[in-house]
Amino acid sequence: MNICVIGTGYVGLVTGCVFSDLGNEVICVDNNPEKIAMLDRGEMPIYEPGLEELVKRNVEDRRLSFTSDAAAAVEHSDVVFICVGTPPLENGDPDMSYVQSAAKTIARSLNRYKVIVNKSTVPVGTGNMVREIIETNRRRTVDFDVVSNPEFLREGSAINDTLEPDRIVIGAPNQVVAMKILELYAPLERPMIITDVASAEMIKYASNAFLATKISFANSIANICDAVGADVLQVIKGMGMDSRIGSAFLNAGLGYGGSCFPKDSSALVRTAEKNGYDFALLKAVIDVNKAQPVRFIERLRSAMNGSFKSKTVGVLGLAFKPNTDDMRDAKSLDVIAALLADGATVKAYDPIAIENTRAIFPQICYTKNAYETAEEADALIIVTEWNEFKLLNMEKVKASMATPLLFDGRNIYDPVKVRRLGFEYHCVGRTTAAVK
């Protein structure tokens, strides 16, 4: 099948690669000519494990190509995927301008029947909006259908999530159209659910909002554990063994970030408001998430005698999660901003995301590795749980620090072991009394 994918971000590029790997002819479109030039040279505009190899293989086999000529790509294709960004506006609504622009481009290039697939994360009603835009702007009286097919990718494991999804959701106006998209996914042999368009759009927001709720719940429990002397890791382990609850997304720490949970939670709150419902529960989830890094920084400030002024603080981990270079809503941004505002000197290291962070904080010192970050530091903070940080020689780390003060925002160390080495160790929801 001939496929056009509009947008070459995480979703678009991974979607295009996987469909081409399944034997389809795929054209990925982006209005940024520099990004297209990079892809034509075999350079990836994003970091995602395995992506470069997948792109190279399918380009060499002539199943995958890149262009900024959206009109030609749409005309050539049977199915057009909209995979553009929907970043949050100041009021919490998603910015729909990129989706609207893509719909207008499709309308002007519609030359025969096509299925238009919304894969971007969009609010309920977007399918109708896209249909209206195409109907209004098409130059030929050509039929088409609009389908919702939300993505459920996790950055860092996006390729595997596309090849082995828990479920494939297809929201279509009728069964005939649904079967056309089902045919595309059939080689994956994964569970599929066919719904109406509005329900498919809602499934995406509801899923992300619920996962965000689990994270904020775990952090709330961790804060209580700090107060009562319990160990949140043991609490969560006990909770997660209940099949009705499960252990996924119950990790306590600095809160959620990234491109999905923050904006999708806010967007769902806005959707509820527009339809006369006060989603108080989800508002509380968002509030807990915003407060978590603030609480963490205040604990650090207290441990450093009330001020960061003239202190050197090392930050390990910058990306919002491991195995990505994505800085969108990364908790490191909150931490670094607070440290700088109070006069600290900040040293930072991340295996992948240094250059992206440098564009935001050019004034801080970026190091070559974790050990260099720890040298002469008055405190060391773990912000992102990269595996290499879990395997550090902690004796070497301690010996190089000015003060062995370790704040673990992701609970990656054994409190007993690091305290025996002489660290003053602070984590999330695991008090000294709980781990002796």
Interatomic CA distance for residues 309 and 306, integer angstroms: 9
Residue that has been written with the tokens 């982006």 in this structure:
30
Can you read off the two tokens belonging to residue 269? 């709150």
Q: Which of 95, 147, 98 is nearest to 123 (CA)?
A: 95
Tokens read off for 291: 């407060």
Q: Kindly state the helix (H) or strand (E) to which residue 100 belongs, with its residue range.
A: helix 97-109
Name the catalytic one among 4, 17, 260, 427. Answer: 260
- Give exposure, 344-377, as e/b (b: 16+ Cβ within 10 Å): bbbbbbbbbbbebbeeebeebebbeebbbbbeeb
HSE (CB half, 13 Å, CA atoms) of 156? 16
Does residue 260 have an active-site annotation?
yes
End-to-end CA distance of the chain: 61
In whole angstroms, what is the distance from residue 403 CA to residue 314 CA? 11
Q: In the numeric block, which tokens belong to residue 423?
A: 């660290």
In this structure, the number of other CB atoms found within 10 A of the CB of residue 425 comes to: 22
Q: What distance in Å separates the CA atoms of residue 61 and residue 317, rounded to the nearest whole number? A: 37
Residues 6+ apart with CB under 8 A from 205: 121, 123, 124, 264, 267, 268, 271
3-state helix, strand, coil in the chain (%, to 5): 45, 15, 40
Q: What positions carry a catalytic annotation?
A: 260
